[in-house]
């Protein structure tokens, strides 16, 4: 990401349709251009009052295995793949209308969103994009699961995920790292899919959830690898965890200039990291206000 870039929106409207993983309900997501400084605005187009929820960390709902947003009647399930697509494509302002509570699972990746956003095109806007420069190394979490931030050498944005489960899982330890740009997001991250072990899939289906989801709709991994499917990358699981990391951190509303490394992190730890980013940005913005030559802007109220 270019730390000195201006904000972007899409040039035209586009849409993605599919079924939710958890509810199984058909849903359409329509994405429209938005004014600079407005951020990502989620709208429930199926409800009479069409309630809105900013895609902001303060509206995150703590749930397992996904990232949800809620503001009154405006409820949205599993937004991380959409948020990753918008962040990876450097789209800062967008109106997202959804005619259901759960966003479509598609093939378990962000590829469907990215393809439509790329078709819609990009518009450069007048306002400078908010960014946080990581100036020192720090870590959150515990020894068994953590996220670390550190300065980058050339002012780039780098993301890394280190995946390591216990000895009983068929998913082998693996890692992935990338200097984030729209092109590399499209080529190396967007198509990485959600994954579960065969045991996890059986437990989820036994609970009466996701019974419509087949082994072709996401990666179900057995002792010999994907069942009725195949890996798109040898480290596809680590790439998808990187995708989730990017999507969850996007709720902080600022670009990160530095290196982000996650070791066995998930949605809960990602949310803690996003909160830390937001705190640091507010702190730097307050300091910048006292320095006449510093132009870092305060974050806008939701």
Contacts of 175-183 with CB under 8 Å at 24 or more apart are 175/235, 175/238, 176/235, 176/238, 176/239, 176/241, 176/242, 177/261, 178/242, 180/1, 180/88, 180/156, 180/246, 181/1, 182/88, 182/89, 182/90
Is 81 designated active site?
no
Helix (H) / strand (E) element for 276: namely helix 267-289
The position carrying tokens 């000895």 is 167
Distance, in Å, from the CA atom of 302 to the CA atom of 285, rounded to the nearest integer, reads 17
- 128 token code pair: 């400078």
DSSP code of residue 187: I
Kindly write down the DSSP assignment for every residue of 48-110, as one continuous string. TT--EEES-GGGEE--TTS-EEEETTEEEB--HHHHHHHHHTT--BEEEEESSSBPP-TTSSS
The residue from 8, 131, 240, 267 that is catalytic is: 267
Nearest CA to 84 out of 22, 161, 143, 174 is that of 161
- 116: tokens are 């439509």
Give the whole-angstrom CA distance, residue 100 versus residue 74. 10
> How many Cα atoms are found within 13 Å in the side-chain-facing hemisphere of 235?
18
Whole-angstrom Cα distance, residue 32 to residue 29? 10
Strand order in the sheet with 225-226: 195-197, 219-222, 225-226
| Residues designated as active site | 267
């Amino acid at each position: 990401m270019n730390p000195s870039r201006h904000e972007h929106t899409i040039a035209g409207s586009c849409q993605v349709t599919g079924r939710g993983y958890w509810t199984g309900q058909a849903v359409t997501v329509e994405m429209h251009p938005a004014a600079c400084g407005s951020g990502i605005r989620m709208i429930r187009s199926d409800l009479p009052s069409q309630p809105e929820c900013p895609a902001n960390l303060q509206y995150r709902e703590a749930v397992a295995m996904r990232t949800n947003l809620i503001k009154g009647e405006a409820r949205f399930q599993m937004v991380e793949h959409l948020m990753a697509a918008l962040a990876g494509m450097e789209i800062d302002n967008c109106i997202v209308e959804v005619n259901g509570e759960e966003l479509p699972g598609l093939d378990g990746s962000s590829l469907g969103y990215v393809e439509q956003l790329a078709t819609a095109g990009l518009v450069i806007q007048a306002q400078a994009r908010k960014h946080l420069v990581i100036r020192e190394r720090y870590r959150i979490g515990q020894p068994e699961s953590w996220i670390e931030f550190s300065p980058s050498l050339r002012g780039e944005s780098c993301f890394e995920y280190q995946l390591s489960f216990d000895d009983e899982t068929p998913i082998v330890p693996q890692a992935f790292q990338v200097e984030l740009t729209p092109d590399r997001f499209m080529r190396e991250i967007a198509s990485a899919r959600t994954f579960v072990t065969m045991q996890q899939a059986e437990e989820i289906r036994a609970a009466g959830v996701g019974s419509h989801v087949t082994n072709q709709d996401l990666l179900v991994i057995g002792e010999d690898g994907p069942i009725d499917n195949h890996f798109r990358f040898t480290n596809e699981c680590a790439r998808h965890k990187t995708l989730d990391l990017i999507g969850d951190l996007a709720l902080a509303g600022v670009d990160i200039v530095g290196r982000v490394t996650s070791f066995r992190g998930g949605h809960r730890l990602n949310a803690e990291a996003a909160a830390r980013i937001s705190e640091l940005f507010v702190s730097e913005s307050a300091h910048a206000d006292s320095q006449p030559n510093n132009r870092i802007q305060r974050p806008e109220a939701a």
